[in-house]
Amino acid sequence: MNLNEWTKESIAALIDHTNLKATADRAAIEKLCSEAKAFGFASVMVNSAYTALCRQQLRNTPVLVGTVVGFPLGQMSVAAKVFEAQTAIADGADEIDYVVNIAEVKNRNWNYLRDEMERITSACHRQGACCKVIFENCYLTKDEIIALAEIARDVKPDFIKTSTGFGTGGATPEDVRLMKETVGGAVKVKAAGGIRDWASCRAMIEAGADRIGASAGKQILDEFSGQEK
């Protein structure tokens, strides 16, 4: 999108409005949903225990319900991740963001990672849900990011994603650009982790991000609106 064509509404439509805190109570999640409806965010992104509540809160609205799986470490069996994804979709999730098994990336066990991606993507798509694959780039080398992105280019989940926001680092424009260059038009890219203002959000979009994960969506939109004046 050309910079001159950006509007508050078009930016909001790129943002997954996120609250993944362990301490998030029901009131916090209801507030998240209310804000998502008011500002027109793409989705809310929550831990799976709150999927059904969000579905109830967002029924008959265009806001999607997003749920994380294998979060935030990715260190459980593929079967466990598939089950969590299927359960979340049954509870009303439209989108699943799952964390790859990072240890198996370090083991260079590409067959395992391809199988994991195929099984989870297939489970999501069979039930009509979007699948996003979280790489957690702060722990990966550039070659590892490329190798994972090449697998994704073949398997075709809907998105590959930079970070959980719980690692040692978040999204960078350089990583977004690398991921986008590797997958081309076959898969979209979501940037998440540390995106707390309009400047960082803009940098990710300009690098090629198709979706932004952020808990600071309201601040991003306020700063964008202030810049317009």
Residue 164 backbone dihedrals phi, psi, to 5 degrees: -85, -25
pLDDT digits (tens, 9 = 90+) for 162-215: 999 999 999 999 999 999 999 999 999 999 999 999 999 999 999 999 999 999
CA 224, 213, 177, 171: dihedral to nearest 10 degrees?
100
Domains of the chain, with CATH numbers? Answer: 7-228 (3.20.20.70)
Report the Cα 142 to chain-centroid distance in Å. Answer: 20
161 is annotated as an active-site residue: yes
pTM summary value? 0.96
Give the mean pLDDT of 9-31. Answer: 98
Q: To which residue do tokens 């996120």 refer?
A: 18
Instruction: Pick the catalytic residue from 97, 132, 158, 188.
Output: 97
Where residue 90 falls among pLDDT bands split at 50, 70, 90?
very high
Where residue 3 falls among pLDDT bands split at 50, 70, 90?
low
Give the mean pLDDT of 59-88. Answer: 98
Amino acid at 209: A
CA separation for the pair 181, 178 (Å, rounded) = 5
Q: To which residue do tokens 């690098």 refer?
A: 207
> In three state form, how does the secondary structure of 34-101 look?
HHHHHHCCCEEEECHHHHHHHHHHHCCCCCEEEEEECCCCCCCCHHHHHHHHHHHHHCCCCEEEEECC
97 is annotated as an active-site residue: yes
Instruction: Pick the catalytic residue from 161, 175, 180, 188.
Output: 161
pLDDT of residue 1: 57
